[in-house]
Amino acid sequence: MSIFTKITSITNDQLIEKMRGDKGIQIIDVRVKERYEKGHIPGAPNVPWKQIKAGNYHPDGKVYIICHSGVDSRKSAKKLTAMGYDVVNVSGGMVSWDGPITKY
């Protein structure tokens, strides 16, 4: 994985717009389980960054990646992009999220 791997990013507002227009959009949340359970985007499964780092996640189609503040989602997007997957980082993370959330 090169430090120069280009990562596509969007804002939280852009993701909300995409969710309105595409009900089949794939979003994954790469935070640790405890943070994920406190509130996440409805329908977004939890795939922790460590699982992606280990190469144990293989998305099917384009996927949008969100984390707490944008750091782990960017690392995840970089890893998956280098592996050849179509991924988009959601900058700002859940701390900036103003959309719907689900809690466990």
For 42-55, write each residue's pLDDT tens digit. 999 999 999 999 99
52 within a domain of the structure (yes/no): yes
pTM of the model: 0.92
3 within a domain of the structure (yes/no): no
Distance, C-alpha 21 to centroid of its chain? 18
C-alpha–C-alpha distance, residues 83 and 39, integer Å? 29
Q: Which domain holds residue 43?
A: 8-96
Number of domains in the chain: 1
Q: What is the mean pLDDT of residues 6-30?
A: 92
CATH of the domain at 75: 3.40.250.10
Of residues 43, 103, 35, the one with CA closest to residue 67: 35
C-alpha–C-alpha distance, residues 97 and 70, integer Å? 11
104 within a domain of the structure (yes/no): no
20 within a domain of the structure (yes/no): yes
Of residues 72, 70, 62, 79, the one with CA closest to residue 11: 70
